[in-house]
């Protein structure tokens, strides 16, 4: 089947620093990596590298042509990416010696996606396909409604967390993906009834992840590795997991594979460029089992 991803495309500037700067503090970076990022782009590449079929719906500025080329080179269908007069979104990422990060995000063209563009991209979609959404673009509710009308399943990554955005889109969602901190915010801001009929995919960092549905909870462990950069780990996990679900893998198998992919990803610098290929994940698993 096909996964349609209405997602952000960013130019990431990652600075490696000895410690994350505090208010008023200037910290000298020891390294700079500039590359493709954005939750949407990361997730699309993870889906493609996991063996899934993915069409990316998004927008860039005239400065971002190379980002589309990078997506295409990774196996992502970019026919639904629009060029606007607004600069491409970008992120300023600081990564400390413990591989923790702090990020400043400029949305840019990610918030200028045309509704007609979304409708055109979903024209050939149908039952069995997935729509994936995040909170880094506009048009999520419109896309989710169109997807539901066509019989698609809707997966939603509630990040960056925005309680109002989550409350608006949740009735249209089949699978909600959050990390541990976002899960806490979810419970604090929304009534339990709001999650009725929606499965949860929760990541817990070094403690693994869980798929929580009304009739079952499936857990997976995290693999122990020496992290270099945790940027994009959650996106890698979700992309691999969703590709597994779409490909018909049992939930436990899909999660186990996604956990391995995320473990490999954090051992490398950068975001999109650090996402492993399916064969690399298979090789990694063969050495751990």
Is 85 annotated as catalytic?
no
Bridge-partner residues for 157, per DSSP?
A: 177
Question: Could you give the C-alpha distances from 161 to 9, 30, 178, 186, 197, in angstroms and in order?
Answer: 18, 30, 9, 9, 20
What is the full DSSP assignment across 77-124? Answer: EEEEEEE-SSPPEEEEEEE-TTS-EEEEEE-GGGG---HHHHHHHTTT
Structure token pair of residue 68: 């589309």
Structure token pair of residue 172: 């249209």
The one catalytic residue in 12, 129, 235, 246 is: 235
Question: Pairing state of beta strands 3-6 and 54-60?
Answer: parallel
> Who contacts 197 (Cβ-Cβ below 8 Å, separation ≥6)?
214
Question: Could you list the active site residues?
Answer: 235
């Amino acid at each position: 089947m096909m996964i349609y991803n209405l997602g952000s495309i960013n130019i990431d500037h990652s600075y490696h620093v000895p410690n994350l700067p505090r208010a008023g503090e200037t910290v000298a970076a020891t390294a700079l990596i500039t590359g493709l990022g954005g939750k949407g782009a990361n997730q699309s590449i993870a889906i493609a590298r996991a063996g899934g079929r993915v069409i990316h719906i998004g927008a860039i500025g005239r400065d971002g042509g190379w980002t589309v080329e990078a997506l295409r080179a990774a196996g992502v269908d970019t026919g639904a990416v629009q060029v606007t007069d607004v600069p491409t979104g970008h992120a300023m990422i600081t990564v400390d010696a413990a591989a923790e990060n702090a990020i400043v995000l400029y949305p840019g063209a990610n918030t200028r996606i045309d509704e007609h563009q979304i409708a055109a991209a979903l024209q050939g979609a149908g039952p069995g396909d997935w729509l994936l959404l995040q909170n880094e673009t506009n048009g999520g509710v419109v896309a989710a409604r169109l997807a539901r009308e066509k019989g698609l399943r809707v997966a939603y990554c509630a990040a960056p967390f925005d309680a109002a955005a989550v409350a608006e889109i949740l009735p249209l969602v089949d699978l909600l993906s959050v990390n541990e901190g976002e899960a806490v915010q979810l419970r604090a801001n929304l009534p339990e009834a709001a999650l009725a009929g929606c499965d949860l995919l929760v990541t817990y960092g070094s403690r693994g992840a869980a798929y929580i549905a009304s009739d079952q909870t499936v857990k997976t462990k995290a693999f122990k590795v020496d992290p270099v950069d945790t940027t994009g780990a959650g996106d890698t996990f979700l992309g691999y997991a969703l590709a597994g679900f779409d490909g018909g893998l049992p939930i436990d198998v899909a999660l186990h594979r996604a956990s391995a992919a995320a473990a490999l990803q954090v051992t490398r610098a950068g975001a999109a460029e650090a996402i492993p290929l399916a064969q690399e994940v298979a090789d990694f698993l063969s050495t751990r089992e």
